């Protein structure tokens, strides 16, 4: 089984005002002093969501309070990874003086990570930068949690057959789910204990037993981070949106590392 980890390093990130222009670039006047000199930088609007460090670990590091550029990308693979991070950054906190290739990087999302499973990018500040995923399926595609609504990404989804279901793991990460549902006429699925965050959801999960939502898709309630948190097991291969909580990974309601480790993610 492969576990795709939530992309947030902190359980309670600091509250911030919503970025007025999501996807915009950073302000060089607010460049953090920790950045190494060069074209790429992070500014003081960073919320330390971890997205850039996942996508471009050779370029971005962590001070404990925010990300900063630890090494300027010089070779193409590192530059490409940094461009992807700039596009995915939920607060537009990453800047570069070289705008070349940013449009192409935006069009790479959703980014394939395994057969039929993609990372959506365009993380939303409304969900503190949580990751979202697309699962392409013959019976209709699934969106797992919500990226920020961007028409450019919507057209990419459209080219892949649109979205039939939106599975919402928990209240923190509904972000623009209502906009995505309206855009594609998709059915939102959420646990009853999370329903107040998306009250117009079309399908509700009750109780704490696994629920077979459709062929290949099993909802597994994983209370802990929130009372109704639910992960989605796809084809018995991918557990989407296990949660990182206080530095400990959880899935199925128990920690993956430490005292009662049961299932270990591959990216750890």
Per CB under 6 A, 129 contacts ligand SF4: yes
Binding to ligand SF4 by CB under 6 A, coded x per residue (else -) over 179-218, reads ----------------------------------------
Does 51 interact with ligand SF4 (rule: CB under 6 A)? Answer: yes
Q: 6 phi and psi, to 5 degrees?
A: -60, 145
Determine, following the binding rule CB under 6 A, whether residue 49 of this chain makes contact with ligand SF4: yes
Cα torsion through 254, 222, 229, 52, rounded to 10: 50
Q: Which is nearer to ligand SF4, 97 or 212 (CB)?
A: 97
Alpha helices in 67-175 (DSSP H): 76-88, 102-106, 151-159
Among 52, 106, 153, 232, binds ligand SF4 (CB under 6 A): 52
> Measured between alpha carbons, how far is 213 from 230 in angstroms, rounded to an integer?
12
Give the binding range for ligand SF4 (CB under 6 A) out of 12-20, 91-99, 197-205, 257-265: 91-99
Dist CA 196 CA 91 (whole Å): 25
The region of 45-53, 108-116, 133-141, 155-163 touching ligand SF4 under the rule CB under 6 A is 45-53
Residue of 71, 96, 66 whose CA lies nearest to 84: 96
Report, in Å, the least distance between residue 222 CB and ligand SF4: 24
Q: Which residue has the tokens 């950045």?
A: 35
Look at residue 178 and give its three-state secondary structure: helix
φ and ψ at 155, to 5 degrees? -65, -35
Residue 48 binds ligand SF4 (CB under 6 A): yes
Quote the least distance from Cβ 49 to ligand SF4, whole Å: 4
Taking CB under 6 A as the criterion, the residue among 3, 6, 87, 89 binding ligand SF4 is 89
Q: How far apart are CA 91 and CA 179, in angstroms?
A: 19
CB of 87 to ligand SF4, least distance (A): 10
Contacting positions for ligand SF4 (CB under 6 A):
42, 46-52, 66-67, 89-91, 93-94, 129
């Amino acid at each position: 089984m492969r576990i795709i980890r939530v992309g947030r390093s902190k359980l309670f990130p600091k509250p911030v005002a919503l970025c007025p222009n999501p996807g915009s670039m950073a302000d060089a006047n607010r460049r953090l002093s920790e950045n190494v000199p060069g074209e790429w930088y992070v500014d003081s609007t960073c919320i330390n969501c971890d997205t850039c460090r996942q996508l471009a670990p050779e370029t971005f590091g962590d001070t404990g309070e925010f990300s900063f550029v630890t090494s300027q990308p010089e070779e193409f693979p590192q530059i490409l990874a940094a461009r992807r991070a700039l596009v995915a950054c939920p607060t537009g906190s990453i800047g570069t003086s070289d705008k070349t290739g940013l449009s192409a990087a935006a069009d790479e999302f959703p980014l394939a990570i395994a057969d039929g499973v993609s990372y959506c990018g365009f993380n939303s500040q409304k969900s503190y930068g949580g990751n979202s995923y697309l699962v392409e399926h013959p019976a209709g595609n699934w969106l797992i949690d919500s990226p920020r609504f961007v028409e450019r990404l919507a057209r990419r989804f459209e080219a892949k057959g649109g979205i039939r279901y939106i599975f919402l793991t928990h209240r923190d990460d509904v972000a623009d789910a209502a906009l995505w549902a309206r855009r594609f006429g998709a059915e939102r699925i959420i646990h009853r204990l999370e329903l107040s965050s998306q009250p117009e959801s079309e399908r509700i999960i009750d109780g704490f037993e696994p629920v077979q939502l459709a062929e290949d898709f099993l909802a597994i309630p994983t209370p802990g981070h929130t009372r109704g948190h639910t992960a989605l097991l796809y084809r018995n291969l991918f557990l989407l949106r296990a949660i990182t909580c206080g530095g400990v990974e959880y899935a199925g309601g128990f920690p993956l590392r430490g005292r009662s480790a049961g299932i270990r993610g591959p990216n750890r």
